[in-house]
Amino acid sequence: MDPTSWVLLSLSYSILISPPSGVPRDLSNLVEVGMNPSGNQIRKYVVYVYQLCVDSRDTGNGVKKWVQFLLQDESTFPHIRVVFPTAPFRPYTPLGGERSNVWFDRVDISPQVPEHIESVDNMASELVNLIQQEVSSGVPLNRIIVGGFSMGGAMALHLGYRFLPQVAGVFALSSFLNEKSAIYEVLSRRTIEEKQQNLPPLFMCHGDRDMLVPIKWGRETCDKLSKLGLDTHFHKITNALHELKRTELKQLYDWVKTRLPPTQDDL
């Protein structure tokens, strides 16, 4: 059974959802593969890319277990396969250059500093190659969602609005963009013809007690993207710190199902 859908979610911890088909040799160490509860091949794929959630040293498998703990029996989709990747182990400037599992580097954890665009683009190129592997195996881009938590959410925003605007949707949880992000520049330069083409909708959630990434940063990011023409949905998570909560995961999963409903082949 050939896959027909795929979702990439970039979050503070690293999580990737990918099919069992060939994974690029240079990215094979990022991917942890799983099957759906029935053990059958799944026709849709979800990729979570988490970065710096509670502990940036966590792995995709660690986040997968946390999602399963929060959602229990609701943590899987009958028609979607979920794979959790681990970000590369690299030096991270906000930690004084200490090596950590991060998707890209930052000058500082603040929207007021420049993006470390070189590391963003290098990682985006690798993730795009990974996604293109799935497209080549039969998964249309419009059956793929990208998203993530914290830095992973920012990574997903770059993927969905700079590199792969044909995807079915983008989500970002507890995430923000730098004030002069390359994403804003790309969207502001869209031609009249390009504006006639729908960009993927954006789903965002943010804890109202987040002290690492204040909700103000997330809301401002969402507002700017909305003014640039995106269909955005922002949800405040009450009494939540910089963390994943069952409430937001349930909202996210409901949104994913609206973007990737079962096809006739899945029934």
Q: Which of 10, 150, 174, 175 is catalytic?
A: 150
Query: What distance in Å separates the CA atoms of residue 188 and residue 198, rounded to the nearest whole number?
Result: 15
The residues, ordered by sequence, that sit 6+ positions from 189 with a Cβ below 8 Å of its Cβ are none
Q: 233 catalytic, yes or no?
A: no
Under a CB-based contact definition with an 8 Å cutoff, are residues 55 and 15 in contact? no
Is 79 labeled as catalytic in the residue annotation? no
Q: Is 66 helix (H, G, I), strand (E, B) or coil?
A: helix
> Is 62 within 8 Å of 22 (Cβ atoms)?
no
Q: Is residue 3 within 8 Å of residue 139, measured between CB atoms?
A: yes
Residue pair 255/169 in contact (Cβ under 8 Å)? The answer is yes
174 catalytic per annotation: no
Catalytic residue among 79, 158, 206, 242: 242
Residue 111 CA to residue 45 CA, distance in Å, equals 31
Known catalytic residues are 150, 210, 242
